[in-house]
Every structure is written in structure tokens, then in C-alpha cells.
Amino acid sequence: MRKRLLPPDRLDDLLRRRARGVSPKALGAAFGLKYGQVRGLLTTHAARLRALCDELGVEAPKAGNRRRKNGAPEALPPGAKSRKCLTCGGGFVPEDRCNWVCPTCKGTAAWKWGGEAYSLHLPGDGP
Ligand SMILES: [Zn+2]
């Protein structure tokens, strides 16, 4: 179990002050905590803070957690479940975000061996 930063009554006091609009920085100074520790407490006890705000009839302050979720670079964007194949125009579910050709088209001989439609011809390139 994690060590408590504050005894429950002090924590309650901190949350009440936050509910009244005291900034985390000022709370840190008042309670002898670092800014990050105050943020951590506010995140951990966000539900309690909201309840206190309801009790006081004030709007809950913005959530203390500013971290952004960094998805894996190769991960598909959320909601992008299927896309249109660049070759046949049919819908398919890609394996990764760089996947723009459906498995059917990739399975064709033309894709595998570089048929006429896919080969590169440079200007002045004789047969
Ligand atoms: Zn296709």
C-alpha cells in the first residue's frame, strides 16, 4: 500500500479548498507538498473532489491529469477500422496504418511480381 501524503482530515481540507478554487500550487505551499504531489492527490481523489464541488454547488475544476496518451506509431487511429483499397477500391481492414492495398490484391501475381500496371517507366527508357 502506498504511503499517504496527508491524513484523511487534511486531505479533505485540501480537496475542499480546491473545490473553492484554490490553485494546486497554493495548496502545495499550504500543505507542504510539491506541485506534482498535489496534482497526484487531485487525480487520485477526482471523484471525491467532484462530490465536494456538488456539495458546495460549484463547478468542478479541470482534471489535474494533463498527460497525453501516446499511441504506438504504427497503431491505427481509433475508429479507422476499414479503408478503401488503392488497387481495387474495395473495403478491407488494414494490418497497420501503412497498409493501403487489400490482402486480395496483394495476393495477386501482379502485385507480387510487379506486372505491367505497377512497373516504373522513366522517360527515354527504351524497351
Ligand atoms: Zn484490393
| Ligand 1 centroid – CA 78 distance (Å) | 22
Average of per-residue pLDDT across 64-93: 67
Ligand 1 centroid distance, CA of 95 (Å): 14
Cα distances (Å, whole numbers) of residue 1 to 4, 41: 9, 15
DSSP state of 83: E
Whether 73 shows a pLDDT value over 50: the answer reads: no
pLDDT at res. 71 = 43
Residue 81 CA to ligand 1 center (angstroms) comes to 16
Distance from the alpha carbon of residue 106 to the mean position of ligand 1, in angstroms: 7
Q: Is pLDDT above 80 for 109?
A: no
Q: How far is the CA of 44 from the centre of ligand 1 (A)?
A: 48
Beta carbons within 10 angstroms of residue 43's beta carbon = 14
Exposure on the CB side of residue 126, measured as CA atoms within 13 A: 0
Query: How many angstroms separate the alpha carbon of residue 90 from the centre of ligand 1?
Result: 6
**pLDDT for residue 41 is more than 90:** yes
Q: Cα(86) to centroid of ligand 1, in Å?
A: 7
Give which of 46, 48, 27, 49 is closest to 38, Cα–Cα.
Answer: 27
Its pTM surpasses 0.75 = no
Which range among 13-22, 50-59, 91-100 has the greatest average pLDDT? 13-22
What percent helix, strand, coil does the chain show, rounded to 5? 40, 5, 55
